[in-house]
Amino acid sequence: MSEIKLTKSAPTEDNGEEKDWAAAKAFFDNLKTNKPRPPKPRYAVTIAVSSRTLFNMVKERKIYQDEGLEKYVAYQMEHENEPLMPGAAFPFVQALMNVNSRLRELYPDSEELFDIVLMTNNHAQVGVRLINSINHYDLSIERFCMTGGESPIGYLKAYMTNLYLSKDSDKVTEAIAEGIAAATMFTADTENELSKTQLRVAFDGDAVLFSDESEIIVKQHGLDTFFEHEKEFENKPLAQGPLKCFLEALGKLQRKFIAKNERLNCPIRTFLVTARSAASSGARVLKTLRSWGLEIDEALFLAGAPKGPLLEKIKPHIFFDDQMFHIEGAQELGTISAHVPYGIGQKYHKGKLIEQPPKKE
C-alpha cells in the first residue's frame, strides 16, 4: 500500500493576520507598561486626523508657504521641544480617549475601541515635534503615517479608516471619492466649554448621513415638489451618505454600553440636526435610520431655521454638514465644525447657484 501523505492547506490571509497579531500580542504582553495598547485595526473604530487638525499649526504653515519646505522643516526641528497648541480636532480626540477609558473599564479585553491615527504628509524630521506634543498632552496616539510630502489618502484604506479629518479640502474630497467618511475641519470663532465625560457628535442629514437624492429635488424643483416626493416615498429608505458608516461605528460602541445597562450613562451621544421640516419630510429620515438598524439620540428638525443657536446649546465636539453656510453659522457661535464636500449642495451657497467655470470643449 502506498503511503498517503497529509498536506496542510495553505493558511488564509485572515489566519496569517491572526497569527501575526497573536505573535505581536504575546511579545507585548511580556513588556511592562501602564499605557493602553492600540486595538487591532480590524475591530477598532479608526479615526485618522491630520497634524493640522490635531494641532494649531497656522504659524508653521505660513513659514512653509512663504519660505518653503526646507525652512519649515528647520523651524520644526529647532522648536521640537515646544509643544504645539491644540487644534480643531483636539477636543474630539480627547473625547474619544474618554470613551476608550470607559470601554476598558467595562470590557478589559475588548478590541472594539477608538484607534486614533495621525495621518500627515509631513516629513519624518517633523515627527519628533509631533510626538513630543502628543506626549505633552498625554494623548493615546501610537500609529503615525508621515508621507514626506506625498498624499496620505492611499494609506487610509490600509489603516482601515472609519473617519478622516483634515484641513485640506482636496484630500477630503479624494477620500470621499474612495468611499471613506471624511470632512474638512474648521475651528470655531469663539470657544465653548465642551463635555469632558461625553463624546457629542452632531450630523446633518441629507448629503451627510443620507445621499443627496432629496436635496437634488429641493434645488431643482423647489420645496413643494420635495414635500410631495418625500410623502410619496416615505417608506422607501434613503440611500446612504458619506458619514453613514461613521454613525454606524458609533452605534456599535454605544450598544456595548447599553449591554451593560449603561444607556443613561453612555459616554457617546449623537444628534441629527437637519433643515428638514418634521411634519412635511421628517418621517422618511427616521424610517431610514430605523431600516438601517441605527439609533440617533436626539433629532432636531429646524424647518429651515439657522442651526448655529441649537448647536450652541448642544455643544458637540464635532458637527458635520455639507453646506458651508451652515458651517459658517455654527463657527460664529462657537461650534467646531466639519464640512463634508459631497453632493449637489457644493454647487450652491445660501440657496444660490455658484457660477461654475465653463467646461473645456
**What cell numbers appear for 355 in the block?**
457660477
Catalytic residue among 20, 115, 170, 204: 204
Sign of the Cα pseudo-torsion (154, 157, 160, 163, in order): positive
**Separation of alpha carbons 160 and 43, rounded Å:** 10
CB 156 within 8 A of CB 180: yes
State the DSSP string of 274-297: ESS-HHHHHHHHHHHHHHTT---S
- Strands of the chain, DSSP E: 45-49, 55-56, 85-86, 114-120, 143-146, 161-166, 182-186, 199-203, 268-274, 298-301, 318-321, 337-339, 348-349, 352-353
**What cell numbers appear for 122 in the block?**
509631513
Residue among 49, 342, 349 at smallest CA distance from 208: 342
Residue 204 among the catalytic residues? yes
Enumerate the active-site residues: 204
